[in-house]
Structure 1
Amino acid sequence: MAPPSIAPKPGRTLLALFAILVVLSGVAVWQGQTTPKLGLDLAGGTTVTLTAKTSSGKNPPAQQMDQAVKIMTQRVNGLGVSDAEVAKQGSNNIVVNVPGEGQGRVVSLIGTTAKLQFRQVFAVADGKPSAGTAPAPGASPSGDAKPGDDKSPSATPSTSAKPSGSASPTPRGKALSGALTEPTPSASASPSAAPSPTSPLVPPAGQPLPGQDPRAPPADYTGVTDRAVIQQFEALNCYTGDRRAPGSNDPKRQFVAACDQDEEGGQIAKYILGPVRVLGENVDGANPMPPNAQQGQASWSVSLDFDGKGGRQFGEITTDAYAAYQQDPNSPRAQVAIVLDGRVVSAPSIREGAITGGTATIDGPPDSFDQRYATDLANVLKYGALPLEFTQSSIDEVSSTLGSDQLTGGLIAGAIGLGLVVLYCMFYYRGLGLVAVASLIVAAGITYLSVVILGDGINFRLSLPHIIGLIVSIGITADSFIVYFERLRDELRAGRKLRPSVETAWKRARRTILVADAVTFLAALVLYFLAVGGVAGFAFAMGLTTLIDIVVVFFFTKPLVALLSRTKFYGRGHPLSGLDPRKLHRAAQKTSAATAGTSQEV
């Protein structure tokens, strides 16, 4: 004896669907966004022209421009489906179209060069210019000693009213020691030898520099062999301009002066940094990470993964910094500066040992290093640095007048198409057509809520190509209803009862529906990844509505038909129900007779 089949419970399925609708509505209200975001053609936006700069003043190579367009496009896609466009114009311009108002964040993110460098700190001070500076000593460093070498001479600047060497962490108080990774202490690194007190470039310990206030602590430029950088450091004012010191973004310079990126407690630090030890090109991946209270991390951070070369180099620089910390815990050389586009993002002290695991973490104060900043930073680092530097040549606001007119025409066309589908369903399927209309309404509701939620979640913006994709999906959804309805009517034409026919027809129709939707979804998926701009937007909308069609057919259309089959109007085959077995049987007989007559004539 065959085991009894589990009776379908359409009521529970419908309740589950409406529960999903309630949850989606709650999410939309919780996000504070109850209307879809609109794209550039519907809501206007910003058009920015970026001009490439080269050291020679000539046009950049076409290959570098193409690479810059590719990286900018990846950064846009990393922000979500925002319908932004990046295109090359001429030989040295890139035009970026960003939809919506207040898109300065996106524009600046796209044009950020994102040159990442890791350098060891040699001196740190407050970002104000030092007072009472005097000419640098006439002596110059001799030999080819490298920074960090035991025999490297140390240059001293003119004068300074403030100590350039730091006896404490940076003013921002950034820390990286525990957040980087599980540190591995290295016993092989030995601290650098202290400079000789008799060196002509370094005054005896405890004595001020020439021209310096005797009451001020002596400046410490141990290991800095570039007197021009010391003078630049003394005169640098990090409280004005964009805080980018000249040459601070040049990886070929052995020593650079650089400013802090953000201020903490009203203070901005400035640094003298040594040679580049790790480049951003050696970063394999970057991901934003939420705060971790267990590790004492109160802010968001960015987790970095280095390739093999970068991991070795990072281990070497942290080994040197840890050796300096072991010699003097207050030494600035115990810090490793993370420099992005010529400004110091973070300068943590390496206090727990060399880090050789091939990973690192960038963090900062919670008020500035929030989720958005961490996401943006991870996004620009993930796709690499731009091969060129760009300046904003022009910024223009784009009107949405033309798009609004096209939207009105598109909505009218969509309404006409939807009306024709409804009329056809009511004329051909009669009472059963009400099920199709109700299914379309439910599909429209789920689509609307999905667009609203995606607008806040992945910055999805509704544009004309998206609307075209949504209108086309009306036919896709209607096809699923027709497949099921025709299977059901075939069962009735064969003389079977309605209630068992509902399940039998569904078993035969659902495979056809799934195969048809799978083909459509695959086509949309391929089109989305191979196309760009409006075509990709059309593919995204079509793929979204295809998934919604499956949900509606499985969780609404079929359960509703099953419930209606238990009513008197549909169950007994009322002539206006569209499920009258006598009418369907007569139609089948006429079709069979016509087919037989045609066969006899042949």
Structure 2
Amino acid sequence: MKLKSYIGKILFLIVVIAIAVWAIKTQEPILGLDLKGGVHIVLECQDTEAAKATPELIESTRAVIENRVNALGLSESVVQRAGGINSRRIIVDIPGMKDPTKAEELIGKTALLQFKTEDGKVILTGADLKDVKVALSRETGHEGEAVIQFTLTSDGAKKFAEATKENVGKHIAVYLDEDLLMNPVVKEPITDGKGIIEGGFTPEKASEYVALLKGGSLPLKVEILSSEIIGPSLGEDMIKLSEKAAILAFILIALYMTAYYRFMGFLATVALTIFLLLDFGILLLLKATFSLPAIAGIVLTLGMAVDANVIIFERIKEEIRSGKTLKTSVSLGFRKAFRTVFDSNVTTLSGAIAIIWFGTGLIKGFGITLSLGILISFFSAIFVTRLLIDIFSSTSLAKYKSIFGY
């Protein structure tokens, strides 16, 4: 088979590698609590007279908490259900945060926004908000003070216009849960559906309120079971030592594969390098969190990738010893090794999926990196290694049997 017949596969591989390299160059890795430290909070959803903690409402509560945390710019955080589908617990991990009290206030508030007239009638709620953001006051005497600027939905704007028209000269109070944010006098009807909430806020407090309002009110009451600051398990020096150890381990694997399988071992080393690029690149694109268990999953799949190559090369050598040509031996070797490699990967993948389904936090991260690594290592062994060996077995190098390890 001529080299030009591999052009399509080569171009495909180049594009995939280019995307992975781009991700590694441009995307910042997200470090988990064990590498970066932060706040770890365990919540439990409670039944109330207004609502029972059904799986659907628990998931809605989780989503609201996630929106609140993300609205503060803490996109590295992980908010997930703990245990099985019937579990009421929600785990919140916020890497880099040092103040658990702030996190508890942000997460635990119901965040029910209400606009009330003097007689206690509710005219607007947070559901009537279309947009909300922090702005700076232009009012004389309060220039530069942080305020909350809001825009109402079309229905909310109509209700607010009617309410302000009916209450000119009267107070309309703004409450968040039980806290009175402001109690201004209506000077004239507000018909454009826009307004500001003033309360002498600091920029940080205004941002916190905006995060609560953007996230919405909690469908269920939550109780904080535990809240703690987690310090990084590895210091910067230990991380650097781990990186050196990983590089040394890869070099030793490359040397062994090349010494034992000669040129095929060298090609396998190239395939393993591509595997690592793809694995890290895809994890970065998926915004995966790198923790110690997650890194262990990557190392484990590297070992599986090496194992797959060893199985394939031994099958090829068996075919060569039986007197077949190199091209025929490569074809038969991959065909016979495929079932063994496939079964091994499916078995491990099944266990990894179970870890993802039932695990939480760091354990779930291990399952995710393991699953992704298994799929990429299988692609590396069956597609990348095969492509490299096919290309070089079609060249004049194929006549030098010694460089192929037989």
TM-score in terms of structure 2 length: 0.64
- Cα distance in 1 for residues equivalent to 2:64 and 2:30: 20
Alignment of 1:31-46 (within 5 A): 33-46=26-39
Structure 2: segments with no counterpart, 5+ residues: 83-88, 125-149, 157-163, 184-191, 199-208
Partner residue, 2:154 = 175
Amino acid at match of 1:244: L
Partner residue, 1:18 = 14
- Cα distance in 1 for residues equivalent to 2:292 and 2:356: 16
Deviation at 1:10, TM superposition (A): 3.2
State whether structure 2 residue 400 is matched by structure 1 residue 468.
no
Amino acid at match of 1:15: L
- Identity, % of aligned positions: 23
Deviation at 1:430, TM superposition (A): 1.6
Partner residue, 1:477 = 305
- Contact 2:76–2:95 (Cα < 8 Å) also in 1: no
Secondary structure of the equivalent of 1:16? Answer: helix
Amino acid at match of 2:391: L
- Cα distance in 2 for residues equivalent to 1:567 and 1:7: 8
Q: Which moved more, 1:106-115 or 1:488-497?
A: 106-115
Partner residue, 1:490 = 318
- Cα distance in 2 for residues equivalent to 1:27 and 1:95: 29
Deviation at 1:523, TM superposition (A): 1.1
Amino acid at match of 1:575: S
Alignment of 1:398-413 (within 5 A): 399-400=231-232, 402-404=234-236, 406-408=238-240, 410-413=242-245
State whether structure 2 residue 263 is matched by structure 1 residue 435.
no
Alignment of 1:138-217 (within 5 A): 172-175=151-154
- Contact 1:469–1:538 (Cα < 8 Å) also in 2: yes
- Contact 2:352–2:370 (Cα < 8 Å) also in 1: yes
Distance verdict in 2 for CA 1:565–1:102, change over 3 Å: farther
What do residues 516-563 of structure 1 show as CA deviations (whole Å, max 9, x unaligned)?
Answer: 212211110111111222221111111111111122223311010001
Distance verdict in 2 for CA 1:373–1:21, change over 3 Å: farther
Aligned length: 334
Partner residue, 2:176 = 244
- Contact 1:47–1:96 (Cα < 8 Å) also in 2: yes
- Cα distance in 1 for residues equivalent to 2:359 and 2:46: 30
What do residues 187-220 of structure 1 show as CA deviations (whole Å, max 9, x unaligned)?
Answer: xxxxxxxxxxxxxxxxxxxxxxxxxxxxx97659
- Cα distance in 2 for residues equivalent to 1:577 and 1:568: 13
Secondary structure of the equivalent of 1:267? Answer: strand
Q: Of the candidates 219, 239, 258, which is equivalent to residue 385 of structure 1?
A: 219
Give 1 or 2: higher helix fraction: 2
Structure exhibiting the larger radius of gyration computed from Cα positions: 1
Distance verdict in 2 for CA 1:434–1:425, change over 3 Å: same
- Cα distance in 1 for residues equivalent to 2:66 and 2:165: 52
Q: Which moved more, 1:499-508 or 1:405-414?
A: 405-414
- Cα distance in 1 for residues equivalent to 2:333 and 2:289: 39
Partner residue, 1:267 = 196
- Contact 2:106–2:212 (Cα < 8 Å) also in 1: no
- Contact 2:34–2:291 (Cα < 8 Å) also in 1: yes
Amino acid at match of 1:538: F
State whether structure 2 residue 370 is matched by structure 1 residue 536.
no
What do residues 401-420 of structure 1 show as CA deviations (whole Å, max 9, x unaligned)?
Answer: 73545534544543444333
Structure 1: segments with no counterpart, 5+ residues: 56-62, 88-92, 126-170, 178-215, 221-232, 249-256, 258-262, 270-344, 346-367, 581-602
Partner residue, 2:108 = 111
Secondary structure of the equivalent of 1:35? Answer: coil
State whether structure 2 residue 397 is matched by structure 1 residue 575.
no
Give 1 or 2: higher strand fraction: 2
Secondary structure of the equivalent of 2:234? Answer: helix
